[in-house]
Amino acid sequence: AQTVTQSQPEMSVQEAETVTLSCTYDTSENNYYLFWYKQPPSRQMILVIRQEAYKQQNATENRFSVNFQKAAKSFSLKISDSQLGDTAMYFCAFQGAQKLVFGQGTRLTINP
Amino acid sequence: EAGVVQSPRYKIIEKKQPVAFWCNPISGHNTLYWYLQNLGQGPELLIRYENEEAVDDSQLPKDRFSAERLKGVDSTLKIQPAELGDSAVYLCASSPEQGEGYNEQFFGPGTRLTVL
C-alpha cells in the first residue's frame, strides 16, 4: 500500500519569506500523480499544484513550485514570497492506480 | 462553474441518532468520492462511485455507514446509529474522468459532524 509522510507538523515564517514543505512517499508503481492541497480554516481543499511522475520537469504555479525527486520518492513544495493568505494546512497526496492517499498535513502560519 | 456542494455545513447530534449528509458534484463529473477527515489528519477515502456504481467501498464501515448515488448525480452518506468516534469532517469530492485514476479531484467544503 502507498504511504505519504509529511515530517513537519507545523511551520511558521514571516511574510515575504520563502518556505519549503517536505513530503516523502512509498510506492512500487512507476506511473502516478502527486499533489499538494491547501486547506484553510474554511475546510475547502484547494489544489495548489500537481506533478506527473513521468515528467522530469518540476511543476510551477506562480509562487508555488515543487522539487520532485523520483528516485528518492520525495516531493517538496516551495512557496516563494509568502503571503498572509497562504496560512493553512497543506497536504501532500499520492495517486497511483487506486485511491488518492494523503499525508498527515503541515500547518503553515505566515506571520505579518 | 459551480463547485461541489455539500449540506449541511455543520451537524450536532446525540449518540445513537441517525445522520445524513448530502453532496452534489460538479456537473458532468461521473466519479464521486466520500472522505472522512479526523481532526489534524488527512482525508481518508470511505467510498468511490463511478456513476451510480460503488466501485470501492472497502473502507466504509458497513455496519453503521451506508451511501447511495441514485441516478449517478447527487449522493447521500448516512450513519445509523452515530457513535462518539464518528465526530469528524466528511468531505465529498468529484472528478471528471475515471479509469486510470490519475485525475484531479475537486472537493466540497465538507460537513463537520459533532456527536455528543
pLDDT computed for residue B102 by the predictor: 44
The DSSP symbol for B80 reads S
Which candidate from A46, A93, A95 shows the least CB-CB separation from B101? A95
- Chain A residue numbers touching B110 (CB-CB < 8 A): 43-44
SS3 content of chain A, % helix, strand, coil (to 5): 5, 55, 45
Contact B41 A98 (CB under 8 A): no
Enter the C-alpha cell of residue A24: 516523502
Q: What is the mean pLDDT of chain A?
A: 94
Give the model confidence (pLDDT) of A77-108 as tens digits.
Answer: 999 999 999 999 999 999 987 789 999 999 99
Extended beta strands in B1-116, E state: 5-7, 10-13, 19-24, 31-37, 44-50, 53-56, 65-68, 75-79, 88-95, 106-107, 111-115
Evaluate if residue A17 carries a pLDDT over 70.
yes
Give the model confidence (pLDDT) of A50-84 as tens digits.
Answer: 999 988 899 999 999 999 999 999 999 999 999 99
pLDDT computed for residue A56 by the predictor: 86
Q: In chain B, which among 10-39 make CB contacts under 8 A with chain A?
A: 33
Q: How far apart are CA B69 and CA B24, in angstroms?
A: 10
Enter the C-alpha cell of residue A29: 508503481
- In the chain, the amino acid numbered B37 is Q
Q: In chain B, which among 77-116 make CB contacts under 8 A with chain A?
A: 89, 91, 93, 100-102, 104-110, 112
**Distance of CA A53 to CAs A49, A62, A97, A98, Å?**
13, 20, 13, 15
Share of chain B above pLDDT 90, in %: 73
Evaluate if residue B101 carries a pLDDT over 70.
no
Nearest alpha-carbon partner for B9 in B114, B116, B115, B112: B112
Q: Report residue B6 CA to chain centroid gap.
A: 9
Evaluate if residue A4 carries a pLDDT over 70.
yes
Residue with cell 491547501: A38
Contact A43 B89 (CB under 8 A): yes
Give the model confidence (pLDDT) of A28-42 as tens digits.
Answer: 888 899 999 999 988
